[in-house]
Amino acid sequence: MTTLVHPADTLTRDALTVLQPGFTGTTAPDWLLRRLGEGLASVGLFGRNVASPEQLAALTAQLRAERDDILVAIDEEGGDVTRLEVRGGSSFPGNLALGAVDDTRLTHDVARELGRRLAECGVNLNWAPSADVNSNPSNPVIGVRSFGSDPQLVARHTAAYVEGLQSAGVAACAKHFPGHGDTAVDSHHDVPHIAAELRTLQERELVPFRAAIDAGTKAVMSAHILLPALDGTLPATLSRNVLTGLLRAPASEGGLGFDGLIVTDGMEMQAISATYGIERGSVLAIGAGADAICVGGGLADEATVLRLRDALVRAVRDGELSEKRLADAAARVRALARWTRSAGAAQGTLPGERGVAPAPEAGLVAARRALRLTRNGPYEPLTAPAYVAAFTPVANIAVGDETPWGVAAELARLVPGTETGTYGSPGDAAADPRARTEDILRAAGERRIVAVVRDVHRHAWMAAALDALLDARPDTVVVEMGLPQAPPRGALHIATHGAARVCGRAAAEVIAGG
C-alpha cells in the first residue's frame, strides 16, 4: 500500500485528532491538557465527569482554554440514558415516549431544549439520537431508546430530533449504524448478528438513517454488529463494505451518500476488544472509513490514548493504513469542530452567550402526553400513603445502575408517607414468586400497592411475581416503565414508555389523582 510522505509530527497529530477519549474526574487531568496541545481534538464525557451544570461548564471552559475548537461529546439521549442528570434522573423522556406521542414538533422541541442545555454547559457533540428500529422486542440494549418498531415513525422522529438538536448549535450523531434494533445480544458483551437480507435492511434498518442524513445530521455512529448481507466477516465498525461501500457511497451506487463524521461506538466493548483488541480494531475502523474512535467508557487513561495513537502511526508506517485515509479522517474531525463554532455563534449558544429561549417544561409535557392508561373498572386515586414494590432487573451497560428510576420518590412527594421496597436483585431472581409476594404483602400491610416493572415481557421471574401479587391484591396499580409489550394488568395500568425521572413524575401525578 502506498503512503504519502509528511513530517512525522503531522502524522502523530492526525492520529491524536481521530481519537475521542474519556477521562476520570470532574476537572481535566494534566495529561489530557498536554495531549490537546499535541493534536487531540475531541473528548468524550460520561456520568463520572458530571456533578452539576456549573461544574460541567467550568470543565468545558478548562478544555477550551487549551484548545478553543475542541469537540466535547457526550452520550445524552435523555430518558433512560442520561449523563447530565445521571444521579437524579432525566428531565426529558426518551425516544420511545416521543414515538408514542408521535408529534414531530414535540420531538423537535424536546431535542432543542436538550441541545440548549448541552450548549450552555459547553458540550457541542451529542452521541444521539438512536435511529434504531426496535423490531425485536426482546432486544436487551435498545428497547425504549428507540422511537419504536415502525421504520417510518422512527425516521420522522429521528429527523425531527436531529433538526431540533442542531438548531441549538449541538451536532447530532445518529446511531447505531446500520441499525441495532433486531439484535438479541448486547454488543457490550459479544458480537450481535442480524440475519436479515439486504432488501429487509433497506426497507427497515436504513430508513431512519437516510432520514437523519437528509435532515443534515453532522455525525453517524457505527455499530459493532455483524450483518452477513453486507459483510460476512467483519462487524460494521470495521467493515469497509458497510462504512465506505454503504454509508459513504453515493445514492447512484446504492449508498446513503453521507459526507459527515463517522464515529465508532466504544472500542472497549467486548464485540471489538475481545476479538480484535482496541489497537487493531482502531486501525481497521479508520481503514474501513471511520473518522473518529470513541474510547473511554471503560478505558479512560493516558496509556490508552498513547496505545491507540501509536497503533495508528505504526499502521501508516508499515503500509497497513493509508496516510491519506488517516488525514481525511482527521480533516473531518476538524471540519465538524469548525461547524460547532459557527453554529454556536449563529444560535448564540456558545458558553456565556444568550441564545435559544429556554423551555424548561418541554420534557415534562412530553412525558405526560406519552402516558397510556388502561383501567380495569373504576379507579380511585390515592388519598393515603401507598407501598411501592419496584421489580428491578439488571440494567444494561448503556443505561447503567447509577441513575435512579421508578415512581416512589415522586409519589412520596405527592402523598407523604409512601414507602418503597426493591425486589428482584440478581441474588433472588430465581426465588419463589409466592415468597416474594408474601414479603411485599407484609411490608405493605393495609396500604395500596403500586407495582413498578421494567420490560416485564423479557423477565420471567418478574412476570411470575407480578401475577402472584395481582392474585393476592387485584387492586394493585401497575406501572410499566420499559417496553409495554406484555398485556396491561392491574386495577390501573400505566405505560410510561421509559424510566426517566419525568416519566415517574407523570405516572405519580395520575396515581395520586393530580
Question: What is the rounded CA–CA span in Å between residue 200 and residue 211?
Answer: 17
Rounded CA-CA distance 162/219 in Å is 10
Q: Which of 265, 459, 493, 497 is catalytic?
A: 265
Count the Cβ atoms, other than its own, within 10 Å of residue 360. Answer: 9
Catalytic site residue 497?
no
Parallel, antiparallel or unpaired: strands 386-391 and 71-74: unpaired
DSSP secondary structure string for all residues of 239-275:
-HHHIIIIIIS-GGGTS----SEEEPSPTTSHHHHTT
DSSP state of 389: E
Cβ-Cβ contacts under 8 Å for 296 (sequence gap 6 or more): 20, 21, 22, 23, 43, 44, 46, 266, 268, 304
Q: Which amino acid is at 351?
A: P
301 catalytic per annotation:
no
Spell out the long-range contacts of 244-252 with Cβ–Cβ below 8 A and sequence spacing 24 or more: 244/288, 244/289, 246/178, 247/177, 247/178, 247/209, 247/220, 247/289, 248/289
Number of other residues whose CB lies within 10 A of the CB of residue 357: 8
Cβ–Cβ under 8 Å, residues 443 and 387: yes
List, in sequence order, every residue forming a beta bridge with 388; answer none if it has no partner. 420, 450
Please pick, among 108, 157, 188, 493, the residue that the annotation labels catalytic: 188
Q: Any idea which residues carry the catalytic annotation? A: 188, 265
